Structure 1
Amino acid sequence: MKRLLPHPALSAMLLVVWLLLANDVTAGGVVLGGIVALILPKFTRPFWPDRPRMRLGRSFIGYLAIVLFDIVVANFQVAWLILFRRNRDLRARWLVVPIELSTPEAITMLAGTISLTPGTVSADVSADGRFLLVHALDVADEAAEVARIRARYHARLQRIFA
Structure 2
Amino acid sequence: MVTISLTWDDGADRSLGLPVYASAGAAGADLRANFPDRGAVVLEPGARALVPTGLRMAIPDGFEVQIRPRSGLALKHGITLPNAPGTIDSDYRGSLGVIVMNAGDQRFEISHGDRIAQMVVAPVMRADLVEVQALDDTTRGAGGFGSTGVSE
Question: Is the shorter-chain TM-score for this pair beyond 0.5, marking a shared fold?
Answer: no
User: Under a length normalisation based on structure 2, what TM-score does the superposition of the two structures give?
Assistant: 0.31
Task: Point out the structure with the larger strand share.
Answer: 2
Which has the higher relative contact order, 1 or 2, with Cα contacts under 8 A spaced 6 or more apart?
Answer: 2
Task: Point out the structure with the larger helix share.
Answer: 1
User: Under a length normalisation based on structure 1, what TM-score does the superposition of the two structures give?
Assistant: 0.29
